[in-house]
Amino acid sequence: MPDTLAPQMHETITDSMLAIRNLQAWYGESHVLHGVDLDIRKGEVVTLLGRNGAGKTSTLRAIMGLTGRRTGSVVFEGRETIRMSPDQIGRAGIGYCPEERGIFASLDVTENLMLPPKVREGGLDIPTIHALFPNLKERARSLGTKLSGGEQQMLAIARILRTGAPLLLLDEPTEGLAPVIVQQIGAMIREIKQRGFTVLLVEQNFRFAQTVADRHYVMEHGRVVDSVTNSEMAGSMDRLHAYLGV
């Protein structure tokens, strides 16, 4: 990890909504995270960038307690969560939208939307969700199996927003979607940021990430190896090309 990164992390810990230190994680005998350090302030959108297999999704899963084993420190709103179960972490206020989205095929859009319990006040009500995601209003009685990939992604994110969870972990929300849907997802992320939600976003496409994020962490081999603010992106392209192989 570059020497310039560690001081920045220690400076931000006092005002972090999420502060991660030396996060290690395993799937069975496979050691997948090797000391992840990162901070997210309230109201930020932060991306994890990196090649396939760099540890981005494993970082989200480890935050949620969904890896086989994890050690280190994951402090959310001043509360250590490393020994909590996944359901306790969710109830604490962290919403997770996995890459596979988790839409229930036998339930319609409204039933999917209403399924998770509220964890905080301040979640979006159904009229606000319909204004933010007009497709979901139109498809309110459509079964999960009848939705397009983009509509499923909107529903998966909207479901978290209704619960009131202030921190959203989004895993590859734009993967495989048409450009017009990617634009809608980007507009939605910017809108929920304006509404006070905080987002940690795994993203392969750093050009999309530039349109929504405040800061970016780069991962390689299960650890954070660099960080860059959005304002520094233009001057960091050579470095990012080397990391991401694009």
More confident residue, 19 or 209: 19
Instruction: Please check the confidence at residue 6 and state whether its pLDDT lies above 70.
Output: no
For the chain, which residues make up each domain, given as ranges? Answer: 5-244
Amino acid at 60: L
Confidence of residue 236 (pLDDT cuts 50, 70, 90): confident
**Predicted confidence (pLDDT) per residue in 149-183, tens digit:** 899 999 999 999 999 999 999 999 998 888 998 99
Using pLDDT thresholds of 50, 70 and 90, give the confidence band for residue 138. Answer: very high
Average pLDDT rounded to a whole number, residues 79-84: 96
Q: Is the pLDDT of residue 63 over 80?
A: yes
Mean confidence (pLDDT) of the chain: 90
Q: Which of 57-61, 79-83, 87-91, 182-186 has the lowest mean pLDDT?
A: 182-186
Closest CA to 71 of 56, 80, 235: 80
User: Among 12-16, 49-53, 119-123, 187-191, which is the least confidently predicted range?
Assistant: 12-16
Mean pLDDT of the region 128-133 = 93
Class of 5-244 in CATH = alpha beta
How confident is the model over 124-152, as a mean pLDDT? Answer: 92
Q: Mapping DSSP to helix (H, G, I), strand (E, B) and coil, where does residue 48 land?
A: strand
